[in-house]
Every structure is written in structure tokens, then in C-alpha cells.
Amino acid sequence: MRLHREGTVSILLVLAVTCFIGFALWHWPVPDLVRYPIGLALLVVLAIVVWFFRVPSRTITAGDDLIVSPCDGKVVAIEEVTETEYFKDRRIQLSVFMSPLNVHINFHPVSGTTSYYKYHPGKYLVAWHPKSSTENERSTVVVRHPKHGEVLFRQIAGALARRIVTYARAGQPAEQGREFGFIKFGSRVDILLPLGTEITAQIGDVVQGSVTPLARFKS
């Protein structure tokens, strides 16, 4: 199993804490009823952190008319909204919530050229809260598809996520299904699509980043 580079510091930190406390537990006069449960809990935490930063091996779903999921998780919202940051018009918003156990790599849903990027500091409301899209810490990326126009997707931090990483920058090429960012520990990604886009996903669907088609551009 490969591990993501964004996990290096977190994994080393948890490993160091685990080793320090483990050394203390086995060298200090601690009762076995305390030593073994704490030792087991430390190993479980270390395993969860390592698992969180795993890099999956996948076959990318590609299609010029497809919008594929930008992340692993569950579809929690499909609705028409007014997008106020970039388009300033009505769009279809599709939101995918990532639990702490999901892969947290973010993937380009379409190919094209990155036309916009902006990071916004903000709050840490739970990621499924309706106001998290506009009030939480977030990064907005827009990719201009050569045939179907622009698609906006937004990385949103949740109550546990405290660091959003975005590699995409304006002017750079975007390749469908390839990595553009990472969010640590529980979060959400919104996609804003043109009205008339055929939505193939449904609320409650469990989706995989770079694999599951969420929608299809109108011909």
C-alpha cells in the first residue's frame, strides 16, 4: 500500500507519540490492566492515521461528456443554487461528503485548463451543514472544458479537517481523474454544473473519486 506525501508529518508524529508512550508503559511500574488497553488504543490510532493517507490503485473513468466524482464519499446534496463567488448565476450543485475513513485525495472531475483558483479562510462547521459551502475554510477551483465550458469545484473543510491542500493553479492544465488536492480528516467537495446538465448520481450514492460518473454534459 502506498501512502500519500501529505501524510508524512502526521504519520511520523503519531508514530513518535506511540513509541514514546509505549516505551513509558513498558518501563514504568504501570498495572497490566492499564498498560495493555492504552497500548492497544495507540496502535489503533496509528493504524487509522496510516489508513487515512492511503493511495488507492484505480482505473480512471474518462469521457469527454462525463463529470466524474472528485472524491470518495457519499452524495449528500443535489440542488439548484445561486453561485455567488465566480459565476454569479444559477447552477446545479452536487455535494459529496467524505468521512474520516474515506480516501481524501481530490481528483479533477473534467479535463481542460484551470481558469480560476482561490483559497478562503473560514469556519469549521460540520461538512454536511448547508452553510459550510460559503462559511467554512475552502478552496475554489474552476476548470474550462474545451467543449462544454467551465465547471467549478470547491474543497470544503469540515469540523475535523484543518488543512486543505490544492495543487491546481490558474493557467495549468487539468486532466480528468488526476489528483488536484487533498483534505485532511473529514470534509466535503461541491461541484457547480451548468443548468441542463444530466445528473446521473442520486442522493445517498456511495461514490469513488476518479471512477464514478456523477453527471453528463448536455450535448
CATH architecture of 66-216: Distorted Sandwich (2.70)
Would you place residue 42 in the very low, low, confident or very high pLDDT band (cuts 50, 70, 90)? confident
Residues that are catalytic: 187
Q: Nearest-CA neighbor of 45 among 64, 72, 18, 27?
A: 18
Angle ∠(109,90,133) on CA atoms, nearest 5: 60
pLDDT of residue 11: 85
d(CA 135, CA 122): 6
**Does the pLDDT of residue 40 top 70, yes or no?**
yes
| 8 grid coordinates | 508524512
Cα–Cα distances in angstroms (integers) from residue 218 to residues 67, 194, 196, 198, 210, in the given order: 11, 9, 6, 6, 20
**Does the pLDDT of residue 171 top 90, yes or no?**
yes
**Does the pLDDT of residue 131 top 60, yes or no?**
no
Asked whether 45 and 36 are in contact (CB, 8 A), the reply is: no
Count helices and strands in the chain by DSSP H and E runs: 3, 16
d(CA 154, CA 188): 8
Would you place residue 166 in the very low, low, confident or very high pLDDT band (cuts 50, 70, 90)? very high
Would you place residue 39 in the very low, low, confident or very high pLDDT band (cuts 50, 70, 90)? confident
139-163 pLDDT, tens digit each: 999 999 999 999 999 999 865 555 7
pLDDT of residue 123: 63
Percent of the chain with pLDDT over 70: 90
Would you place residue 121 in the very low, low, confident or very high pLDDT band (cuts 50, 70, 90)? confident
Q: Which run of H or of E encompasses 4?
A: none
Would you place residue 186 in the very low, low, confident or very high pLDDT band (cuts 50, 70, 90)? low
Kindly provide the b/e burial profile for residues 69-91, where b requires at least 16 CB atoms within 10 angstroms of the residue's own CB: bbbbbbbbbbeeeebebbeeeeb
**Does the pLDDT of residue 136 top 70, yes or no?**
yes
Domain residue ranges of the chain, discontinuous segments joined by +:
2-55, 66-216
Q: What predicted TM-score, i.e. pTM, was given to this entire model?
A: 0.84
**Does the pLDDT of residue 130 top 60, yes or no?**
no
CA dihedral for 106, 15, 137, 101, sign (positive or negative) = positive
